Structures are given as C-alpha cells and as structure tokens.
Amino acid sequence: MNWIEASLILFGGLVALMGLGLPVAFAFLALNIVGALLFLGGEPGLPQLARNAVQSVTSFSLTPIPFFVLMGEVLFHTGVALKAIDAIALLIRRVPGRLAVIVIVAGTVFSAISGSTIATTALLGTLMLPAMLDRGYDPRMAMGPIMGIGGVDMLIPPSALTVLLGSLAGISITGLLIGGIVPGLILSALFVGYIVVRSHINPSLAPSGSIEEAPAGFARWMPFVLHVLPLLFIFGVVVGAMTRGWATPTEAAALGATGTIVAAAAYRALTIDNLMKALIGTAAISGTILFIIVGATTFAQVLSFSGAVNGIISLVTGAGYPPFAVVIGMLLILLFLGCFVDQVSMMLITLPFFMPLVFALHIDPIWFGILFLLCMQLGLLTPPFGLLLFTMKGVAPASVTMPQIYRAVVPYVFFGLLVIALILLFPPVATWLPAFVGP
C-alpha cells in the first residue's frame, strides 16, 4: 500500500467518522485500531498501540493543563471575578461604549488568570449582557465584545489549549505561552479602539445613560488594589517563574493554582461547596482533553508508520514551494476547519501533517505556533459552528437570534485576521517577547 492510499484510508476515515457525529476521541480510537492492524504488523501491533497510548498521557509536559483549568474554575465558582468587574467599572467612567469597554478590560484581566474561553464568555455574558441590553445597547454592540474577548483568553497565559498545542506539536510550551501575550493585548486594544470610535460615531449603538457616583481619590482605586492587583500578581508569578527559569511550566501552573485558591480564601469566598465544584469541573475538562490526547498521539504514530507523513513532506518540498507560501496554505486550511470543528479537533487533524513540514522547511516553530493559536481563536468565533457563538446563545435572552450573533462577531473576526496578517508580515510581533524574557 502506497502513502496516498494510506492517507485516504486514515484521513478519509477520520473525516467520515467525525461527519457521522462520532465524538472525536472515539473516532481517533477506531482509526488507530484499524491503522495498527494495517501498518503495525497486524494483531501484534495492538499491544504497541496500547503502550503508545499510555506513554502519551504520562508526559510531564501535560501536567500544567489541570492546574490552568483549576485556576479558571476557582475564579468563577468563588465569585472572585464579580468583585474584579466592579473594581474595573469604578475606574472606567466617561468613555463611549463604557460597558462594552469594561467587558474588554475585565475579560483581558480574566484571561491572565483563567484558562477557559467558554467560562470567560459565559461569565461576562451572564453578568454584562443583561446590563447592556437594559441600557439600550444595540445587541451587536452588547454581544460582540463578550465573544471577542472570550477568544483572547486562548492567547494570554494561562491557557490549557496552548499547553496542549505545545505538547502535541513539539514546540516550547513556555515560548508559546509567552508569545501569545503581545498578540492578545493587541487584539484587546483593537477591540477597545473599535468600540470607542464606533460608539462615538453612532451613540445610539451604546447609550451612555446615567453613571453611579464613584468615590473620590484613593477610595476609587481601593477596590482595584484589593480585587484586581492580586490576580495580576498571580499572573506575574506564573509568567515570571517560567521566563526566568525558576520553574517549569508545570511548577509555575501549580504556583498559579495555589495562588488562586489562597486569594479566594483570603477574600472569604472559598467554601467546601464551590471548591468541590471547581475540582469536579477541572477533572471533567482535563479528563476529556487527556482522553483525546491518547487518540491524537497514537494516530500520529500510525500515520508515520504508514508512510503518509513522509510522502506528504516529499510532495511539498519536492514541489519547491517557498516556506511562506506553505504557511499561508496551512493557515487557510486551519481557518476553513475552524468554521466546522472544535479547536482540539483542529490540532489533532492537522498537526501530524503540519509539524513535520514546519521542521523540514526550517520555519520558526514559535512563530507558526502563535499563528496556529490565532487561527484556533478565530475558529471560536467563525460561523456556523464557532463554540463561543453557541455559548453566547446559551446565555443571551430568548429573543436574540443566531443571525444577530453572527453579525455581532464579524468585526472581531476581522481584527483577528488583521493580527494574523500583522504577524505574518512582522514575525517579531510574536517572537520578540519569548526571546527577550527567555531564561
């Protein structure tokens, strides 16, 4: 069997099974068994498949995932996030589209302490969307910022998906985590600028209304000092420990999770009940991710044994395409997949083919990894199946329709494409910070 036939069987079978609605983990498991029988020597290949599966989830590089997930779960289940929003609202006063700007700033802060895009979107949607709609905000101006900043959560550490990408792709996890900070902050700044300018041009989109009187002087800043700075300090500890080489990503993640729990306890917001909810949520999310990893890594090994990976590499490199054109092609594939499949599936389907090409063509893996993250971030927002679109539908009033949600997210998709183009043309936007602060 040549590599083309092997590729059609494995990749075609995967697409067919996922198209039938089989969960991604089970789709990979079924293809792995078929692949082991065909390419790993028949029945003796099954024990090898099992050994590979066990080895894939015992990797030390994966252990930051549950810690990063736990940070976000504790933040939201204890209500610490609510006090942070109130503190930020006291500082942001007379700006066009004030409530939408508060959403962006608060979401950026949450991104620095939470590893869950869905949790950030659901929380901000539950708290801020009713307030904006009651104030007379246009539904597009109310929903768009919540979904847009929810996607940024994937870029700014801590991010479980970034750890997963680094582990599966063989890219420095620390480099990816640090490299996502600048693009994430650029996106947040673009979102704020768009909201302010758009609301200034057309005030009916975001009526200002009356603003509650704020304390004067330091009393106005006191809630920020008490409820926001500690969260940013935890972010600084996590990032600083990794960049200075004082701790591995796993140890830094453990510090962050411990700091989040201690902060919640210091605010007297931590109870046995909400701690158990956070732990159960962490176990559920982490277990799902690790189960998918089992299928993904063994699938990559089956692909390698089948000759499909080497065949594709030879085909692309032999055609003489420049590396930049190859990267553009890979990004277009990712953007297309993002419209139809979830982010983990995007990684599992493409990384076994993409990463050998990246290394063979001597493409900077950090640069490519950040572009990959941006494409996954856009996949959260792009119709028809963007995950955050359905999260928004779940927390929005019943009167809000999916077409309204689709229209609301369009400007934020455009800004994501703009940042991708920026990093394509100026790679140091993504790579200078990891190089500057690296150990």
Task: For residue range 175-225, list pLDDT tens digits in order.
Answer: 898 999 999 999 999 999 999 999 999 988 888 766 666 666 777 788 888
DSSP 42: S
| Contact assessment for residue 380 and residue 390, using Cβ atoms and an 8 Å cutoff | no
In percent, how much of the chain has pLDDT > 90?
18
| Contact assessment for residue 119 and residue 76, using Cβ atoms and an 8 Å cutoff | yes
- List, for residues 50-73, the tens digit of each pLDDT value: 776 666 666 666 778 788 888 878
Give how far the C-alpha of residue 195 lies from the chain's centroid of Cα atoms, to the nearest Å: 23
End-to-end CA distance of the chain: give it in Å, rounded.
47
Domain that holds residue 94: 3-437
CA distances from 154 to 3, 55, 388, 416, 418 (A): 35, 27, 12, 13, 17
Amino acid letter, 40: L
pLDDT confidence bin for 425, thresholds 50/70/90: very high
Instruction: Measure the CA–CA gap between 192 and 189, rounded to whole angstroms.
Output: 5
The HSE-up count of residue 41 (CA atoms within 13 Å, CB side) is 6
How many domains is the chain built from? 1
* Whole-prediction pTM: 0.80
Q: Which one is predicted more confidently, 24 or 371?
A: 371
